[in-house]
Amino acid sequence: MATHAPDPMRTTEGYSRYRTSLLAVAVLACLASAAPAALREPATTGSGPAGFCTATARQQLAACLFEVRDDLFNTRGICINESDSEDREECYAEAAAARSEGHDLCGDQFDARKALCGVLGEARYDPEFEEDDFDTDFSDLTRPNRYFPLGIGHRWSYAGGDETVEIEVLDKTKLIDDVTCIVVNDRVEEDGELVEDTDDWFAQNKNGDVYYCGEGSKDYEIFDGDAPPEPELVSIDGSFKWDRDGDKGGILFLGTPRVGAVYRQELSLGNAEDAATVLSTNYRYGRQPQLDRHVPRAFVQRFCSAGNCVVTAEASPLEPGAFERKYYAAGIGLILEVNAQSGDTLQLVGCNFDSRCNGLPMP
């Protein structure tokens, strides 16, 4: 029988620590009391007693509150031009309610950012991103990531609820800050209609880490009455590029995942601030009940019966209290996403490079 390394999540103490950090880090999802040195610098007093990370969070709080104020004034200007008095009063009331909700959200985001600083430390976030550390030929990688493969032409299909997702590694690269990043297209449809079309840009570190270089995100909507009905571009929110307007990427998936590792995946202030933590590196159904919630047992047993799946949690201070658990299988990559609050899932239904994808059921 195969043996597995002890997992702190299996003990009463470990699970208690896990639940505590869900709250403390706005459900970033695990206590990372010792994030590896490669992922974070030692804490520093930095700019004042709070340090650089918290000082940044305070600036973001101020920016958020100013944005709420600006939205209020703009909306009041719209209200002034409502001719109907009832509509005008309703407009003012909605503007006041939106201001109140905005203030609450700014405060919650600030608390989540401070909690994340408590885990990562107070050092400046300025990760090294040097071209000599990364591969340039994606057809001949130095150390491919087993859990996040970037083979040219690889395709994955996912489904959940009314949503379907198609992901493909394109035979295209993008030079970002002198680092060669491969282009991965991600298309999302709801009820058969395109709602998002994104090009993600990933770099492969020679140590196995996959880095997130940025993304060009495009959100679409189809409006009633259009003839023919065609997706209309309505937003590019979330788009960022390393070293543009101060934006920085980060590690998307570790070459050697370690339980408790916490790391930023991106930092585009007020726009994209995802962080991740490794919950398990030896997951299989039935071993860690807290990670089995909302997980389809027969499905994950197909990939994780050997106890070698990796589970991470991803969250963003921009959405306090929300996080997703993600399950990865060696040789395939992402097989399942679970929304920890709603229980909604997005699961793999096909891929074009591994026989384990043959005959996968629809969720």
263: DSSP letter: E
Kindly state whether residues 175 and 252 are assigned to the same domain. yes
In a domain, 70, yes or no: yes
Handedness of CA 263, 265, 268, 271 (dihedral sign): negative
Kindly state whether residues 198 and 271 are assigned to the same domain. yes
Kindly state whether residues 209 and 112 are assigned to the same domain. no
Kindly state whether residues 309 and 341 are assigned to the same domain. yes
What does the block give as tokens for 9? 């999540």
Report the pLDDT value the prediction gives residue 42, as an integer from 0 to 100: 34
Nearest to 52 by CA among 65, 60, 43, 61: 43
Kindly state whether residues 104 and 140 are assigned to the same domain. no
What does the block give as tokens for 121? 């430390």
* 92, 120, 148 - which closes a domain: 120
Kindly state whether residues 97 and 142 are assigned to the same domain. no
What does the block give as tokens for 56? 């940044």
Peptide bond into 296 cis (omega under 30): no
In a domain, 140, yes or no: yes
In a domain, 109, yes or no: yes
Kindly state whether residues 243 and 301 are assigned to the same domain. yes
In a domain, 219, yes or no: yes
* 59, 85, 120 - which closes a domain: 120
What does the block give as tokens for 135? 């591969």
Nearest to 48 by CA among 40, 57, 39: 57
Report the pLDDT value the prediction gives residue 30, as an integer from 0 to 100: 38
Cα torsion 218, 165, 194, 268 to 10°: value is -20
Cα dist from 328 to 87, 162, 213, 308, 356, whole Å? 51, 23, 21, 9, 13
Kindly state whether residues 143 and 41 are assigned to the same domain. no
Cα dist from 190 to 165, 196, 221, 350, whole Å? 9, 9, 10, 18
DSSP H stretches of helix in 25-142: 52-80, 85-120
Cβ atoms of 14 and 101 closer than 8 Å: no
In a domain, 1, yes or no: no
Cβ atoms of 179 and 145 closer than 8 Å: no
Cα dist from 212 to 67, 247, 286, 339, whole Å? 28, 12, 32, 22
Cα separation of 164 and 157, whole Å? 7
Nearest to 182 by CA among 209, 204, 165: 204
Cα dist from 238 to 32, 41, 98, 136, 200, whole Å? 27, 27, 22, 26, 11
Cα separation of 321 and 303, whole Å? 29
In a domain, 127, yes or no: no
Report the pLDDT value the prediction gives residue 223, as an integer from 0 to 100: 96
One-letter amino acid for residue 184 of the chain: V
Cβ atoms of 276 and 262 closer than 8 Å: yes
Report the pLDDT value the prediction gives residue 26, as an integer from 0 to 100: 39
Handedness of CA 81, 87, 93, 97 (dihedral sign): negative
Structural domain tally of the chain?
A: 2
Question: Any bridge partners for residue 345, and if so which?
Answer: 338
Kindly state whether residues 224 and 323 are assigned to the same domain. yes
Kindly state whether residues 85 and 154 are assigned to the same domain. no
Kindly state whether residues 71 and 211 are assigned to the same domain. no
In a domain, 2, yes or no: no
In a domain, 362, yes or no: no
Backbone phi, psi, residue 174, to 5°: -135, 130
Kindly state whether residues 106 and 142 are assigned to the same domain. no
State which residues form the domain around 205: 136-357
* 89, 120, 151 - which closes a domain: 120
Report the pLDDT value the prediction gives residue 50, as an integer from 0 to 100: 61
pLDDT tens digits, the chain, 363 residues: what are they? Answer: 433 333 333 333 333 333 334 433 434 433 333 333 333 333 333 444 569 999 999 999 999 999 999 999 999 999 999 999 999 999 999 999 999 999 999 999 999 999 999 999 999 999 999 999 999 999 999 999 999 999 999 999 999 999 999 999 999 999 999 999 999 999 999 999 999 999 999 999 999 999 999 999 999 999 999 999 999 999 999 999 999 999 999 999 999 999 999 999 999 999 999 999 999 999 999 999 999 999 999 999 999 999 999 999 999 999 999 999 999 999 999 999 999 999 999 999 999 999 999 999 999
Q: How many CB atoms lie within 10 A of CB 46?
A: 17
